[in-house]
Structure 1
Amino acid sequence: MNVWSGRLCPIRSLPKLNLLRLSRTFTILILNCQRSADNSVPKAQKTMEYKQAPIGVEVRGIDLKQLVPDNIVEQIKIDVHKHRLLIIKDQGIVSGDRHVEISQWFGELESTFYKHPKSPHPDVFRVSNDEEEGCRNVGRSGWHIDGSFMEKPFSFAIYHMVSVPKIGNTAFVPLKELVESLSPETRARWERLWRTDHQLQHIQPLVYPHPVTKDPTICFHLGMTGGFVWDYGTDEERSTDRRETAQILQEMHQEITKDNSRLIHSHKWEVGDFIISDNLAVGHEATPESQLPVSKVGLRVLHRTTIKGKWIPKK
């Protein structure tokens, strides 16, 4: 994303780049821009700095608190599907109203969560390690996507840490890579599974193609699943009992964390971080340290919005 203070950086020519192949599959792209000698027209530096990241891209050079040109907004909307996480740095404190305005770039907001008295906006979910400051124990019931209990899970989730603790990460896992890392036998089994939400209102395929990218992804919540159905809609259809359901959920957790959690990016929040997530392509959970008391790690306050789902998961 080529931006400078919310404006495009004109790039007439750039040298060919040889990217260093590292153990992780993703890179962070940071484009540094500066004003020209007359302090008027922005121009790009001749070099780009690339850094390693397990998933997503880190973005600098844009101020979300200011008006963002339409072409940059459109580029962000493309990039979030391409990279799945846009980790936008150095944003300071983004107000609740502005958080909602940015969220509306992606569609209609849908708020199905508890309200907290200190939330800066009715559509901003405020979570914390202090119940006086926000809702506690959020995101600790297991790996999940947001809104998995809905017929159309949320399409995007947008996060902003407004009070950063010493520790208290959010962990992310790329679902395409998770599915592709399965053994052929395990993937074949998962492809046969459908899941029901904890209220048994909806039945969804566990593995299905992402509605935009068509990459394999999963609809899941390890802590809010009512059960599974094998071979749904066929003569071989069979529901799992409680024991088999627990075994499948445990298997899923083991697949996410296998190989020393190599697929997982545990994001250590920094002041000013603002993350836009393709919710259908990335699983996440709050790490255990996110619930440590203020006396040990300082105050943690995270704001989150969610965008109304557009698609029913389908094979």
Structure 2
Amino acid sequence: MFFQSFCFQTSKQLCKLRMSLYTVSPLKLGVEVNGIDLKKEIPYEVVQQIKADVTKHRVMVFRGQGIVEGKRHIQISQWFGELESTFYRHSKSPDLDIFRVSNVSSEGCTNVGRTGWHIDGSFMKAPFSHSLYHIISVPKKGDTVFAPLTELIEGLSCEKYHRWERLWMVSDRQESIIHPLIYSHPVTKKKVMCFHLGMTKEFLWDYETPQQLRTTDAETIEILEEIHQEFVKDNKAIQYSHKWEPGDFIISDNLAVGHEASPETQYHPSDVGLRVMHRTTVKGQHVPTKEYPLE
């Protein structure tokens, strides 16, 4: 009883500290954060509250941050763990762990996030736990769209849910990593998805059971399209399409939200202006599994 009371009081104190330094207001998915300057040193207790808020809200949009230098972007990312970068480092990237993307090849890597809805690192044994994005040059158009995976799963028909529960994705990378399509989030224990609609070689039915079967090419395409349709139909009502503004910095629970870059992110600069974004990813600590024991 004493421990529960202590935890409750500590939580209240953290919330009061949070409210004294930054405020949050709800978005369609996640929250908008105001009143904090990420470029400055943040007290330990506030960092802990931010980490808890990311888990709670899944997406946190920090407004008005100006330009966050690469070194500071790395420091913020390290609040969540060790960084892991698996993509090409552009010559203009300020750090090895910062993935610089753009709509101009001389400014950053192009066509990033345009191969389909996904989570980052689905091809890793342990997908990235968090993704952090910072806009450097803002185009007139070019949203990043986020979708809550738990709500999408909860909205499936019973038949479709049971079909997806039997599926395991096989990455198209050389290692052919295999993950359950639907599994339990390692922290919240809620149902989420490990998937990439543009980087999946095939699916397995009933993996590691006597009934295990590989999908044919036609079946794989059909399943990928079925998943895609769940993201583009009525579920737009639960998605959040982020319209970037100067100084925006986003922290997301990568395991809890799917995302995709809108087509406008690759429009020519003569149409929308220059787009430059920096992204970091935090090394995953958990291999996707159907169930996690309660802690």
TM-score normalized by the length of structure 2: 0.90
Following TM superposition, by how much is the alpha carbon of 1:263 offset from its aligned partner in structure 2, in angstroms? 2.4
After superposition, give the CA deviation of every residue in 1:24-58 in whole Å (9 maximum; x if it has no partner): xxxxxx83xxxxxxxxxxxxxxxxx855x221011
1:229 paired residue among 179, 198, 204: 204
After superposition, give the CA deviation of every residue in 1:206-232 in whole Å (9 maximum; x if it has no partner): 000100000100000000001101111
Any residues of structure 2 matched to 1:143-292 within 5 Å, and which?
A: 143-199=117-173, 201-259=176-234, 261-292=236-267
Structure-2 residue corresponding to 1:18: none
1:63 paired residue among 37, 50, 73: 37
2:277 paired residue among 302, 309, 314: 302
> Which secondary structure does the structure 2 equivalent of 1:262 belong to?
helix
> Which secondary structure does the structure 1 equivalent of 2:125 belong to?
coil
Following TM superposition, by how much is the alpha carbon of 1:64 offset from its aligned partner in structure 2, in angstroms? 0.4
Structure-2 residue corresponding to 1:15: none
- Greater Cα offset, 116-125 or 214-223: 116-125
Query: Could you tell me how far apart the structure 2 residues matched to 1:139 and 1:216 are?
Result: 23
After superposition, give the CA deviation of every residue in 1:237-279 in whole Å (9 maximum; x if it has no partner): 1110100000000000001111162222111001111000100
After superposition, give the CA deviation of every residue in 1:97-118 in whole Å (9 maximum; x if it has no partner): 0000100100000011011011
> Which secondary structure does the structure 1 equivalent of 2:238 belong to?
coil
Structure-2 residue corresponding to 1:26: none
Closer/same/farther in 2, CA of residues 85 and 9 from structure 1, 3 Å limit: closer
Following TM superposition, by how much is the alpha carbon of 1:201 offset from its aligned partner in structure 2, in angstroms? 2.2
Any residues of structure 2 matched to 1:46-195 within 5 Å, and which?
A: 50-51=25-26, 53-195=27-169
Structure-2 residue corresponding to 1:22: none
Closer/same/farther in 2, CA of residues 98 and 50 from structure 1, 3 Å limit: closer
1:311 paired residue among 249, 272, 286: 286
The answer to whether the 8 Å contact 2:25/2:31 transfers is: no
The answer to whether the 8 Å contact 2:152/2:235 transfers is: no
Query: Could you tell me how far apart the structure 2 residues matched to 1:10 and 1:192 are?
Result: 47
> Which secondary structure does the structure 1 equivalent of 2:233 belong to?
helix
Closer/same/farther in 2, CA of residues 8 and 58 from structure 1, 3 Å limit: closer
Larger CA Rg, structure 1 vs 2: 1
What is the root-mean-square deviation of aligned Cα atoms in Å? 1.8
After superposition, give the CA deviation of every residue in 1:153-184 in whole Å (9 maximum; x if it has no partner): 00000000011000011011110011001001
The answer to whether the 8 Å contact 1:106/1:307 transfers is: yes
Structure 1 segments unaligned to the other structure (5+ residues): 12-29, 32-48
Query: Could you tell me how far apart the structure 2 residues matched to 1:8 and 1:138 are?
Result: 34
The answer to whether the 8 Å contact 1:256/1:263 transfers is: no
Runs of 4+ in 1 over 2 A off after TM superposition: 7-11
Closer/same/farther in 2, CA of residues 68 and 235 from structure 1, 3 Å limit: same
Query: Could you tell me how far apart the structure 2 residues matched to 1:154 and 1:266 are?
Result: 22
How many aligned positions are there?
A: 275
The answer to whether the 8 Å contact 1:257/1:264 transfers is: no
Query: Could you tell me how far apart the structure 2 residues matched to 1:255 and 1:263 are?
Result: 11
Query: Could you tell me how far apart the structure 2 residues matched to 1:153 and 1:272 are?
Result: 27
Partner AA of 1:272 in structure 2:
G
Q: Identify the structure with the greater helix proportion.
A: 2
Following TM superposition, by how much is the alpha carbon of 1:10 offset from its aligned partner in structure 2, in angstroms? 5.2
> Which secondary structure does the structure 1 equivalent of 2:36 belong to?
coil
Structure 2 segments unaligned to the other structure (5+ residues): 1-10, 291-295
Partner AA of 1:58 in structure 2:
E
The answer to whether the 8 Å contact 2:25/2:33 transfers is: no
Query: Could you tell me how far apart the structure 2 residues matched to 1:76 and 1:9 are?
Result: 11
